[in-house]
Amino acid sequence: MTRIGVAFNLKPEPLGAPVGATLGGADNETADPIHGDEEPPSNGAGPVRAPRQRPATTGRPDNTVLLQELAADDEYAEWDTAETIDAVVRALSAYGTVIRLEATPDFPERLRAERPDIVFNMAEGSGGKNREAHVPAICEFFDVPYTGSDPLTLSLCLDKSRTKEVLSHYGVATPCFAVLESLDAVDLLSPALRYPLFVKPIHEGSSKGITERNLCQTPADLAAQVEFLLDSYAQPVLVEEYLPGAEFTCAVLGNGSDAAVLPIVAMDFDALPDGAIPVYGFEAKWVWDRPDAPLRIFECPAAIPDSLRRTIESTTLRAYQALGCRDWSRVDVRLDAAGVPNVIEVNPLPGILPNPADNSCFPKAARAAGMSYETLIQSCLALAADRQGLRLRRVRT
């Protein structure tokens, strides 16, 4: 029987909160259920606990308290909940014995002791710009097959500037950009970059550290937000030209010429409150999306012309291949003013929440393609096994 390891990072419960706790507190009249571990398409972030104050829900509110807590609270935004891990384990158990391998400091010893036939990797890692590469690198050291992209691709895709450099080299459209390592560098920014500009921490996933304030209309806006991000995340800041067009996220399954894009997920920014900027940011995910008033921002399959769909799919697959992605990845695309698809980010460790109510984009695309959650997880395993010459057999029940 096949021994399947599952490598993961378990998201901790909010400090002092029981299982099933809610966001909010005594000074917050509206309590929101804790959101899951999904990574929104290109803009958004998730704290572990709620801010003490709920900002206004329209326009561009003064979210000073919220922003300050965001930097401290979103450390584990990329990690997976017990619900997600359990769902993955159930799906994989159809093909053998599943061994849970939490990516803690004893992971190498446990991997060597358990010696699984293959590892299903969903570990985001902890600490450093190469954190997503830790588990696959250790698997390679012990010659254990694993799912997904290799350490080079995982580190490359977590570095937003290196990702864009590779995409540019291969002729894949991506917004013009610069990297700022200090506040002084703002004054040296190339005049070739045209406002408005959008800023992001350069080595974060799950769109950590991104809010409406990351859209900068003026040099003063830019300096203020760059200073905030440098102080909060202690890493360089990516500055790129803001694209005014529609945004999509594209789930890819497969390898080589067999890689294919699942039904495209589009974002309907008309679902945002009046006055909000058209990005799926912190406010959209954590303030405006409430149990009593869900934010119905996703559309899948995207209602777009076939010609645009084909162009988005082509751009997505070119990015997937250029960056060396394997088995699966999620590619985020936004249209520029001329309607040309540009790649915003590539995520080779996509969010995979099992509950349809959580709006996890990769499972949403899979469902639109007629795949159950279990089939999606098993497909990734099968792709990796086939790529590495490992034969899988379903367990008889």
List the CATH number of the domain containing 180: 3.30.1490.20
Residue type at 327 in one-letter notation: D
CA 72 to chain centre: 19
Task: Write the DSSP symbol of residue 186.
Answer: G
Q: Can you say whether residue 206 is alpha, beta or left, with left for phi > 0 and alpha for psi between -120 and 50 degrees?
A: left
Q: Of 4-13, 69-78, 219-228, 367-376, which gets the smallest average pLDDT?
A: 69-78
Looking at residue 242, the DSSP 8-state letter turns out to be P
Instruction: Give the single-character DSSP code of 154.
Output: H
pLDDT at 79: 83
With tokens 């590539």, the residue in question is 346
The least confident of 106-115, 208-217, 257-266, 305-314 is 208-217
Q: Residue 36: which pLDDT band, with cuts at 50, 70 and 90?
A: very low
Separation of alpha carbons 308 and 92, rounded Å? 36
Burial 345-358 (b: 16+ CB within 10 A, else e): bbbbbbbbbbeeeb
Residue 386 lies in a domain: no
The encoded tokens of residue 131 equal 């954190």
Written as six digits, the tokens of 316 are: 């997505």
pLDDT value at position 27? 35
Q: Where are the alpha helices (DSSP H) in the chain?
A: 64-73, 82-92, 107-114, 134-141, 151-158, 160-169, 219-233, 282, 306-322, 361-368, 373-387
* pLDDT at site 188: 84
Domain residues for the domain of 219 are: 176-241
Is the Cβ–Cβ distance between 76 and 103 less than 8 Å? Answer: no
Residues 225 and 247: their CA atoms lie apart, in Å, by: 23
**pLDDT at site 75:** 60
Backbone torsion region of residue 29, taken as left when φ is above 0, otherwise alpha when ψ lies between -120 and 50, otherwise beta: alpha
Q: Which amino acid is at 100?
A: R
d(CA 373, CA 117): 23
- Spatial CA neighbour of 253 closest among 363, 93, 355, 142: 363
Residues 80-139: tens digit of each pLDDT:
899 999 999 999 999 999 999 999 999 999 999 999 999 999 999 888 889 999 999 999
pLDDT of residue 291: 66
Residue 340, pLDDT above cutoff 80? yes
Query: Does 189 map to a domain?
Result: yes
Residue 24 sits at φ, ψ, to 5 deg, of 110, 180
Ramachandran class of 143: left when φ > 0, alpha when ψ lies in -120 to 50, beta otherwise:
left
The structural domain count of the chain equals: 1
Measure the CA–CA gap between 242 and 344, rounded to whole angstroms: 10
Q: Looking at the domain assignment, is residue 128 inside a domain?
A: no
Residue 155 CA to residue 124 CA, distance in Å, equals 11
**Paired residues of 120 in beta bridges:** 6
Q: Is residue 270 part of a domain?
A: no
**Closest C-alpha to 297, from 309, 306, 288, 305:** 288
For residue 54, tell me if it sits in a domain.
no
Vertex 282, ends 88 and 362: CA angle to 5°?
30
Q: Which two tokens stand for residue 395?
A: 């367990």
Radius of gyration over every alpha carbon of the chain, rounded to an integer in angstroms: 20
Residue 226 belongs to some domain of the structure? yes
- Give the CA distances from residue 263 to residues 9, 31, 40, in Å, rounded to whole numbers and listed in that order: 28, 34, 17
pLDDT of residue 71: 45
pTM: 0.84
Residue 181 lies inside a defined structural domain of this protein: yes
Distance separating alpha carbons of residues 365 and 373, to the nearest angstrom: 10
pLDDT at 205: 62
In percent, the amount of the chain with pLDDT more than 90 equals 65
CA distance 318 to 247: 18
Q: Mean pLDDT score of the chain, rounded to an integer?
A: 85
263 closest CA partner among 253, 274, 277: 253
Query: In Å, what is the CA distance from 29 to each residue of 23, 26, 301?
Result: 11, 7, 36
Predicted pLDDT of residue 288: 79
- Residue 286: pLDDT band (50, 70, 90) is low
Q: Whole-angstrom Cα distance, residue 297 to residue 295?
A: 6
Domain membership of residue 237 (yes or no) is yes
pLDDT recorded at residue 233:
86
